[in-house]
Amino acid sequence: MTADDLGRTAPHAVTVDLYRAVRLIRRFEERAIEFVRSGEIVGGIHPYLGQEAIAAAVCAALTSADVITSTHRGHGHVLARGADPGRMLAELMGRETGLNKGRGGSMHAADFSLGILGANAIVGAAASIATGAAWAYRQQGRDTVAVTFFGDGAMNEGMLLEALNLAALWQVPVLFVCENNGYATTMPVGSAVAGSITARARAFGMPAFTIDGQDPETVLKASTAAVARARSGKGPMFLECLTYRFDAHHTFEHRARLDYRSPGEVAAGRARDPVAIQGARLPERERAAVDSEVEAALDAAAEFALGSAHPDPADPLKYLYAVMP
Amino acid sequence: MPKLSYLKALNRALGDAMELDPSVFLLGEDIRVAASNLTAGLSSRFGPERVIDTPLSEQAFTNFATGAALAGMRPVIEFQIPSLLFLVFEQIANQAHKFSLMTGGQCKVPVTYVVPGSGSRTGWAGQHSDHPYTLFAHVGVKTVVPATPSDAYGLLVSAIRDDDPVVVFAPSAALGVRDDVDFSTLAPVPLGVGRVARSGRDVTVVALGHLLQDALVVADELAGVGISVEVFDPRTVYPFDVDGLAASVAKTRRLVVIDDSNRTSGFAAEVLALAAERFTLDAPPRRVTRPDGAVLPFALALDRAVQPGRDQLVAAINAVLEDQ
């Protein structure tokens, strides 16, 4: 489904597609955590659990000509943009068949054939990369919008504020999507951000809205409008999506048990579950059918990844240069 | 033959590269009016869409260039001041440089970073006078330091055509160098290939960038006292022309490096390590560098005292010739 299709697609099909997307991300992440525990994935992951609506719905608002950049917590964006779950899982396991041939891992997954210009492990770094890519595509006469995902923590990176300025100054077709999950690792947003997140964006002269990031259809509506606006040449826009991280900042927390969120707060956060919200919009039997479809796809993905070869350590720096010096 | 200055050669390289390839564009501070003269005439020739003045947002516009490169462009960024490279070290070393490997070769990042005026600029003091080419070589970013107008032209053209990020240091003290050049002979100079700038028998002096002129003057002087100095200009710091230097040292069996880096872990240290591993020498090699951890002091005499100079080079050459 694309933004162009939205008006013509039966609302029910949109509802099902969004449910499939959030369910796929949810179950992918739950299985990935199991693979971290079993040691198949080394280095751990930053689970996207709880934030699925944002990736699923924003990517549903894009066309195949568009591009995205992602973050250290990036599995949801990459899957929502259409990356093959088997190759994504193989990447997390460091296999040669992975999206990045096992050279990137969880924090750097990319699929340029789908316009995924990479997850980026430096907070706030990708916003200016997305801005540059969107500007370049416009120079080339392409009808491309770039979406850059980042968290509330990135709002304190000077480089991100510089990117907002460049994008607004040069009217670049880029959509800034801030996933405010309440914490930069363990730092609460209220202790980190003076003023307001959207006011910062508005100060650069771009429209900025705060929306419910837990409801996939709310996010779809807002991002469809934002993408259409960017595509029409009116410049960048900013969406702050209020969300909640259901699980750890990183899987190391499963052992470290850092004390920064009360059980009550976590329970309240988890009560607004995007998978449940979207699932409730489907008849039970249809939802179950999507669930089975997702499990079957993830079974196949796991089989593919686990059966894939490891890269050859004889050439660990393959791809370091486009042209070897 | 017409005279061509080093700075004019860089300017000509930019113009030729932009003429040849519409994906090449320039990004930087005050480049439309060409505050440093590097981009003189290019804004009126190619228009404001290809010669883009940026706000003072070095980190964002360096990543912006990476994004544009991922989308198929060939950005060239001018940094007026060498220490701005410290500000964008993350964006070059940790972003642009790493994309190819981290994505398993899915993309390339052909960005060129040019510093027209690296090293001491005479009187610009502590924060405007660094020469950090060693840092980029250390992290594996292709790094060139041209010494002559022809090489300035040829290496910048090659850097722009290269599919990887390349940093081009144009030393402040070299910008005014003028040579008689037949413009029809200006051509790309491949990265990673050094050149013997002066042939000699007794000792090889490795000299880079503006220090090449000093090495050539010293070689002339010493020729008068019967010492035959071969001067090797690596032109590219990384990848380094090991074979080119090996051929020179095989002949002279003595080695001195003059290098405008700080001493510890500097470029000269790398060349000496290479010599220890690979070359057969008749005397321990020597290096002339900035002191350890040097910050360039403002007062002119202090500034000069910190930079590697001709007297030190002469002393080092004499020392390796005396050592047996």
pLDDT tens, position by position, A73-109: 999 999 999 999 999 999 999 999 999 999 999 999 9
Contacts (Cβ under 8 Å, ≥6 apart) of B115: B78, B79, B80, B81, B82, B84, B85, B167, B168, B169, B170
The 3-state secondary structure of chain A reads: CCHHHHCCCCHHHHHHHHHHHHHHHHHHHHHHHHHHHHCCCCCCCCCCCCCHHHHHHHHHCCCCCCEEEEECCCHHHHHHCCCCHHHHHHHHCCCCCCCCCCCCCHHHCCEHHHCEEEEECCCCHHHHHHHHHHHHHHHCCCCCCEEEEEEHHHHHCHHHHHHHHHHHHCCCCEEEEEEECCEECCEEHHHHCCCCHHHHHHHCCCCEEEEECCCHHHHHHHHHHHHHHHHHHHCCEEEEEECCCCCCCCCCHHHHCCCCCCHHHHHHHHHCCHHHHHHCCCCHHHHHHHHHHHHHHHHHHHHHHHCCCCCCCCCCCCCCCCCCC
Cβ B41 vs Cβ B15: under 8 Å: yes
- Helices and strands (DSSP H and E) totals, chain B: 13, 14
| Torsion region of B123: left, alpha or beta (phi above 0 gives left; psi -120 to 50 gives alpha) | left
**Residue A153, pLDDT above cutoff 90:** yes
Tallying the residues shown for chain B, one arrives at 324
Residue B324 has a pLDDT of 62
Sorted by where each begins, the domain ranges of chain A are 8-306
Contact list, B163 vs chain A (CB under 8 Å): 322-323
B131 is catalytic: no
How far away is chain B from the Cα of A81, in angstroms, using its nearest Cα? 17
- Pairwise CA distance, residues B281 & A274, whole Å: 71
Domains and CATH numbers, chain B: 3-185 (3.40.50.970), 195-322 (3.40.50.920)
The share of chain A scoring above pLDDT 90, in percent, equals 94
> Radius of gyration (Cα) for chain B, nearest Å?
19
- Name the residue facing B162 among A165, A317, A323 (closest C-beta): A323
Q: Which of A116, A131, A142, A319 to mutate to test the interface with B (most CBs of B within 10 A)?
A: A319
Inter-chain CB proximity A165 and B57 less than 8 Å: yes
Q: Which CATH class is domain A8-306?
A: alpha beta
Residue A47 has a pLDDT of 97
Residuewise pLDDT in 10s, chain B (324 residues)? 889 999 999 999 999 999 999 999 999 999 999 999 999 999 999 999 999 999 999 999 999 999 999 999 999 999 999 999 999 999 999 999 999 999 999 999 999 999 999 999 888 999 999 999 999 999 999 999 999 999 999 999 999 999 999 999 999 999 999 999 999 999 999 999 999 999 999 999 999 999 999 999 999 999 999 999 999 999 999 999 999 999 999 999 999 999 999 999 999 999 999 999 999 999 999 999 999 999 999 999 999 999 999 999 999 999 999 976
Q: How many CB atoms lie within 10 A of CB A263?
A: 7
ipTM for the predicted complex comes to 0.94
Inter-chain CB proximity A125 and B91 less than 8 Å: yes
Inter-chain CB proximity B106 and A112 less than 8 Å: yes
Contact list, A137 vs chain B (CB under 8 Å): 71
Q: CA dihedral in degrees (B151, B156, B158, B163; nearest 10)? A: 150
- Pairwise CA distance, residues A220 & A53, whole Å: 9
Q: Which of B49, B70, B242 to mutate to test the interface with A (most CBs of A within 10 A)?
A: B70
Cβ B99 vs Cβ B66: under 8 Å: yes
Inter-chain CB proximity B57 and A130 less than 8 Å: no
Q: How many residue pairs from chains A and B have C-beta atoms closer than 8 A? A: 144
